[in-house]
Copies of this chain bind each other. A is one copy, B any other.
């Protein structure tokens, strides 16, 4: 394929035209639009659905098939006890503030971000510096920011500007009370009304419901698919013949009742996720395929750099990052690389992709380390994939709550042989002598450490030992009742709770940035856009364009589409009553990478032209010859440059016939 990023640099990203295209061609649209819409809910139309299905299909191949993951499909509706145990009921919340007069609700961190960014933009304006085109664009879309900017189009002191930038660099690290303090200290108000806001309060993001006709069983819509994996851990482990490491994977809908959804598909209340839970031995987080990614370089933005107030990434090989302790272990590193490869394969611009480590206060309650794949777009840097080490958190809490062991039992190659002192009781005498104290005595001895047992052994050798009950009675034990002996123990099974590494993909966000990164327009047709989607995800791979809807083309259309279908490639026919050029332009908007033109020459000579979307270059050849090249192009086993060597260029004369 032509290098689409070169094209894009020629034409700066035009968000208005971009959004118009997505809306006009029904990639997606606000759900319930004719009812006035509901914030944060979107429906995907035919090209959006197809793009999403293709992303999912490629995800399945790239992750599930490639690494033999176990796919599952668990329910969305979840009884309350599950999320009480997992900690979501208590802690899966955002901080919101209310306008003190209107009662309008805003997410606290978004408020601080919007106002401070607007003030910095106003400061730049006041200093006569040109604001970033991106910021301008954002201003147009964001009423709040725009108002705030207008209000604050004034100079800031250098100290204030630097202070704001430092706050923004670690915004995700503030607690609720700290966000409230920032609002008071920097006089941050609701920009819509200029009213003060309340202290931040927590708002749980889970949608609630109730299960069954009696209303007795409260339930939640899952905010992530992960718990469905963990609860099935024992079954999955058994399916994997009891061996770790292995991974489960799930693609499905999740729900978060966002406080004030905005930014289109980037922050929504219902979304499709793809999640992997990779279970590893906590003492061995190596990955058997790590060598394949060791030399793969990624852009990292670690926790320490952010804490210093900077957002400067550095390019580093995954192997080095793990060796230097920047990325905690091989498995996390393996997934960071694999996520990067996946995103670039489906069409994300690698120069606008970075991995940012979560700061301490920012991490979800279950995570011990987390790297987000962030992708730059017109809204800024957006988290599209999270890659968290959830340690043993989830399996442990569910196991403790239910009494169902969620553990791995591993036969040790070499049994571990240990010797230690143990107390041996003559239970008959013990019971006769101490009655109901007998149990307490045994439990107490079982918990004594080696040195204490040694003392007792010595005392017993001298005749007897004394123990004191919790209620203060002294009991005398003799060697007739208890002896302390050194015994050998052989442990042939090791039991452990695995740790979980979780790559978690927000497919809607990925879909959106993918569209942004691949949108541009041709000099000669600036009104219409082109979506340079890679063939692997393009909604339609091949458009068949007969010169007209005349019946004489039907047999050839049938032949070509059937030959393509046999190769697993689904084509569409556009025989509408408009020029070939217009039909192609319409399909450039949908991202269709290849076109086949059937004209009178096709009928007479069995030739056909092949058009490439990004270059608009055309080649010509015999029908079967062209199909062979096309199949390789769609499957990615060849590219346009190679295809141009295999087939002669088409000079355009025949089509006029």
Contact = CB atoms under 8 A, between A and B. Distances in A.
Nearest to A94: B213
Given A44-B72, A208-B209, A79 B231 contact: no
Interface in A593-630: none
A-B interface, 5 closest residue pairs, ranked by CB to CB distance from nearest? A34-B404, A43-B74, A44-B73, A46-B70, A49-B71
A72 B96 contact: no
B203 A65 contact: no
Nearest to A399: B34
Contact of A270 (B65, B75, B570): B75
A39 interface: yes
Given A96-B213, A257-B212, A34 B402 contact: yes
A376 interface: no
A411 to B, nearest CB: 13
A304 to B, nearest CB: 35
A72 B76 CA distance: 20
Given A32-B78, A35-B82, A45 B214 contact: no
Interface string A65-94: 100101111111111011000000000000
6 contacts: A26-B232, A31-B75, A43-B72, A77-B270, A96-B213, A253-B253
Given A26-B235, A29-B232, A221-B209, A48 B77 contact: no
B576 A35 contact: no
Interface of A: 25-26, 29, 31-35, 38-39, 41-46, 48-50, 52-53, 65, 68, 70-79, 81-82, 96, 105, 203, 207-214, 217, 221, 228, 231-232, 234-236, 238-239, 241, 252-253, 255, 257, 259-260, 269-270, 272, 398, 401-402, 404, 406, 568, 570, 572, 576
B77 A269 contact: yes
Given A77-B207, A213-B259, A241-B576, A232 B72 contact: no
Which of A45, A214, A252, A570 is packed against the most chain B CB atoms within 10 Å? A45
* Copies of this polypeptide in the complex: 2
A224 to B, nearest CB: 15
Contacts of A73: 43-44, 48-49, 52, 272
Given A105-B213, A241-B576, A570-B65, A228 B31 contact: yes
Given A65-B570, A213-B105, A231-B35, A75 B45 contact: no
A26 B239 contact: yes
